[in-house]
């Protein structure tokens, strides 16, 4: 498969994956662009692999996990109110709320949850992607789900107090 054909087919999926990981569209765009640039340089080697998309997705995860240092140098220091653009669709609002909750998770927990529930990978595949052991994957997912449950419970509790 030629690189241009790969990008035409897989870039939308990589963008969705990166957007869920980063919780920021602009950051996902930068991340995918950087990864595809590096993949282009090594495409002769990547294209002959059994699963080139899995390899590129792993590159996205690795790049995402290493962006912490870069983000601290490039992120604005002031508190900025996010601009919420509502299109009125319940599905979109629910997705935005979930991405907001995911953004509160530590990076490895978020990556593990996204790989499990968005990409549909098994514990073994996630462990390979993240470079850790399977029990660590299960622990990260368990902690992340507990954090999300606490967040959801807090939101319901706050709503009941204001009613």
pLDDT tens digits, 82-92:
665 555 567 77
| Mean pLDDT along residues 3-25 | 92
Asked if residue 111 lies in contact with residue 65, where contact means CB atoms within 8 angstroms, the answer is: yes
Tokens in use for 59?
Answer: 């590159």
Q: Where are the alpha helices (DSSP H) in 23-163?
A: 25-41, 43-46, 52-74, 90-103, 107-113, 123-130, 134-162
| Mean pLDDT along residues 25-52 | 92
| Mean pLDDT along residues 47-72 | 85
| Mean pLDDT along residues 31-60 | 93
Residue closest to 6 by CA, chosen among 44, 62, 47: 47
Q: Which CATH class is domain 89-163?
A: mainly alpha
Q: Over the chain, what is the mean pLDDT?
A: 83
In which residue ranges of the chain is CATH 1.10.10.10 found?
89-163
Distance (Å, whole) CA 57 – CA 52: 9
């Amino acid at each position: 498969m030629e690189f241009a054909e790969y990008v035409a087919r897989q870039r939308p999926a990589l963008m969705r994956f990166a957007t869920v990981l980063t919780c920021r569209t602009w950051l996902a765009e930068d991340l995918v662009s950087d990864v595809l640039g590096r993949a282009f340089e090594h495409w002769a080697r990547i294209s002959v692999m059994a699963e080139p998309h899995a390899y590129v997705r792993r590159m996205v995860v690795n790049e995402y996990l290493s962006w912490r240092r870069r983000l601290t140098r490039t992120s604005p220091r002031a508190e900025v109110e996010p601009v919420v653009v509502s299109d009125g669709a319940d599905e979109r609002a629910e997705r935005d709320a979930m991405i907001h909750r995911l953004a509160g998770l530590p990076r490895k927990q978020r990556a593990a949850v996204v790989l499990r529930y968005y990409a549909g990978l098994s514990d073994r595949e996630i462990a390979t992607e993240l470079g850790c052991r399977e029990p660590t994957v299960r622990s990260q997912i368990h902690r992340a789900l507990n954090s999300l449950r606490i967040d959801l419970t807090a939101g319901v509790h706050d709503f009941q107090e204001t009613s």
